Structure 1
Amino acid sequence: MDPIAEVRAFNRFYTEVIGVLGPGMHDSPYSLTEARVLYELGQAPGPLETGEIRRALGLDAGYLSRLLTRLETDGLVTRERAGHDARRQVVSLTGAGRRTYTDLDEKSAAQVAGLLDGADQARLLGSMAAIREILGGGPKSGAVVIRPPRPGDLGWVVQRHAAIYAREQGWGPDFEALVARICADFLDERDDPGQAGWIAEIDGRPAGCVFCVRKDDETAQLRLLLVEPWARGRGVGARLVEECLRFAADAGYTRIRLWTRDVLTAARRIYRKAGFEVTGTERGEDFTDEIWERDIPRFTDGN
């Protein structure tokens, strides 16, 4: 695969989808760049200096001047000297300009709504966020969001467990089959109020997961804790374990347990910090299986 050819092919596809190659945006006489100028002015709380518009859109000063001349001739904008500095020029929308901006903005929103109708929005928006992140576009909050699983998330759980642990630990199909069985059991018991699962997201991108399932009437079991390599060191694992403990307390369990292996040092640190202790071991060929347990804490508001 030629990465340059693939990116160029995507660019051609996307520009065709959003219709920027036509003579005007949304059947208007205005180009994409002219529409972007109107958008910047329409979104601003007041007049904008020409320098602000040029920096926001990355335009050459001469090119912007020609665009503004056309928009001014059409009665959409006015230009005047800045009150605080006569050397600078500020631009405002006229009444006609604001109506044109509103019309273009509404048509653009309707076009996007049409594209999203029937689409896999979670996948689409996640992919768009990934492109922005990789190419450095736009500020990101970096906030960790913990949410319940959505349709399709458990497929991601199986795939990421298999891929990450194959790469990091060399675990093969047997481990992937185990994770798939755990996920299948979770879905089979989806109406059980004593179980729940959570997906961690950062800027719309899945970053980790954990599940709390019923071991017996008194004991919950924490399963499938995973944090993506790119999200480690940001407290994701600790947040997921805390969510699991809170749920177990609310569900009335008195104890919680988990299974792990001694080679998973990062996970073991999280468990130990959360109050778990090793209560049983079984030596394998290249590792030791461990059972960790703890009593259930009683969470109160503010804790």
Structure 2
Amino acid sequence: MKDIPENITKQIRAFNRFYTGIIGALNSSVLNSPFSLAEARVLYEIKHTENATASEINLRLGLDPGYLSRIIRRFEHDELLLKERSPADGRAYNLKLTSRGEHVLSVLEKVSDQKVAEMLESMSGVDVNTLLQSMDALTSIFSGEPRGASVRPGKPGELGFVAAQHMEFYMKEYSLDASFEYYLFEGMTNFLKNRDSGTAGFWVADHNGTVVGSIAIDREDEKTAKLRWFLVHPEFQGQGIGRRLMDQAIEFCRLNLYHRIFLWTFSELRSARHLYELYGFSPTEEVRHEIWGREISEERWDFLLVDPEEDL
């Protein structure tokens, strides 16, 4: 067992006491109803668990088996749930809420949602985003599950944030100098002109309001698209975000009837090069030169979206 400093354990225990108070305030709406907090949680789990059984609910909530049995009997008596013998195991019963049970749960959830909304009402948007990110980090740490992100079109202003992320990443990981910033903004200025015409697209991976990945498609000519600014934040790599960004970009190219896509990268970006290969890109050109403060071997990779005969 690790030797954890006493000040850390005290800080965590203090937070636990503070958070228990918040949870008590949020749960007061449930406690003002005819249902205990445990009963409300059982209703929720039955509703959101496919073919729920008493043993599954007990495993999720950690309730005493006898106490859970009494809750289920009460729900049956009050016509809040139905028990059906499980086709997979004749000794078990699947639990399902009746329409009355679903109505009761809906009322409880609406009241709880209102309580949360009241708590957030005085917070700024920045504070709410910070809260969501902190909650997600806690969930990820204690569950061992990776943090997720959704892919969506980029919003006005986010391209500048992507430029800052690229500068930070490439200066730190590959020792590029400040001239790389000029290259980024020069390309982004031209890109914005094409995006207004609908021939270019820009997407980000969004994690609770924070951009953690990006990709763009720019118009090179009528048949050719250029893939640009593909990056996934190191903390979010290995979760399939890069594939989802690539899928979005390639689908955009197909819808806009581009024949081919190309990109420029450099040889040290091994994980990105591997992903390009998986999607059917292949290296077609290599240029070794001094640029952005160091010697770099740039590579052009191409991907044909149509049969070679159609590309003539």
SS of residue in 2 equivalent to 1:19:
helix
CA distance in 1, matches of 2:252, 2:102: 51
Count of matched residue positions in the alignment of Structure 1 and Structure 2:
291
Contact 1:213 1:223 in 2 (8 A): yes
Query: Please, which moves more after superposition, 216-225 or 108-117?
Result: 108-117
CA distance in 2, matches of 1:106, 1:34: 16
Q: Does 1:266 align with 2:271?
A: yes
Residues 171-190 of structure 1 deviation map (CA, whole Å, 9 limit, x = unaligned): 45544565456456545654
The residue type paired with residue 38 of structure 2 is: T
Aligned counterpart, 1:133: 140
The residue type paired with residue 267 of structure 2 is: D
User: In the superposition, relative to structure 1, how do residues 280 and 170 fare at CA in structure 2: closer, same or farther (>3 Å)?
Assistant: closer
Matches within 5 A, 1:76-91: none
Aligned counterpart, 1:210: 215
Aligned counterpart, 2:285: 278
Residues 187-212 of structure 1 deviation map (CA, whole Å, 9 limit, x = unaligned): 56541222112335799996632211
TM-fit CA distance, 1:57: 0.9
Residues 251-278 of structure 1 deviation map (CA, whole Å, 9 limit, x = unaligned): 4556654333333233344446503411
CA distance in 2, matches of 1:42, 1:68: 13
Aligned counterpart, 1:28: 33
Q: Does 1:292 align with 2:300?
A: yes
Q: Does 1:106 align with 2:114?
A: no
Over the matched positions of the two proteins, sequence identity in percent amounts to 29
Q: Does 1:168 align with 2:176?
A: no
User: In the superposition, relative to structure 1, how do residues 288 and 63 fare at CA in structure 2: closer, same or farther (>3 Å)?
Assistant: same
TM-fit CA distance, 1:242: 5.9
The residue type paired with residue 110 of structure 2 is: E
Aligned counterpart, 1:193: 198
The residue type paired with residue 160 of structure 1 is: Q
Aligned counterpart, 1:227: 232
TM-score normalised by L of structure 1: 0.63
Aligned counterpart, 2:4: none
RMSD across aligned C-alpha pairs, in angstroms? 5.3
CA distance in 1, matches of 2:99, 2:302: 67
Contact 1:257 1:291 in 2 (8 A): no
The residue type paired with residue 57 of structure 1 is: L
Corresponding residue to 1:57 among 54, 61, 78: 61
Contact 1:15 1:21 in 2 (8 A): no
User: In the superposition, relative to structure 1, how do residues 249 and 282 fare at CA in structure 2: closer, same or farther (>3 Å)?
Assistant: farther
Aligned counterpart, 1:12: 18
The residue type paired with residue 104 of structure 1 is: L
TM-fit CA distance, 1:231: 5.2
Unaligned runs of 5+ in 1: none
CA distance in 2, matches of 1:243, 1:78: 43
Q: Does 1:149 align with 2:157?
A: no
CA distance in 2, matches of 1:162, 1:169: 10
The residue type paired with residue 35 of structure 1 is: A
CA distance in 1, matches of 2:115, 2:231: 38
Contact 2:281 2:301 in 1 (8 A): no
TM-fit CA distance, 1:146: 4.9
TM-fit CA distance, 1:225: 1.5
User: In the superposition, relative to structure 1, how do residues 41 and 238 fare at CA in structure 2: closer, same or farther (>3 Å)?
Assistant: closer
Contact 1:20 1:32 in 2 (8 A): no
TM-score normalised by L of structure 2: 0.62
The residue type paired with residue 19 of structure 1 is: A
Residues 191-245 of structure 1 deviation map (CA, whole Å, 9 limit, x = unaligned): 1222112335799996632211234556533211213435556665466456545
SS of residue in 1 equivalent to 2:282:
coil
Contact 2:232 2:241 in 1 (8 A): yes
Aligned counterpart, 2:310: none
Unaligned runs of 5+ in 2: 1-6, 308-312
User: In the superposition, relative to structure 1, how do residues 103 and 200 fare at CA in structure 2: closer, same or farther (>3 Å)?
Assistant: closer
TM-fit CA distance, 1:12: 3.2
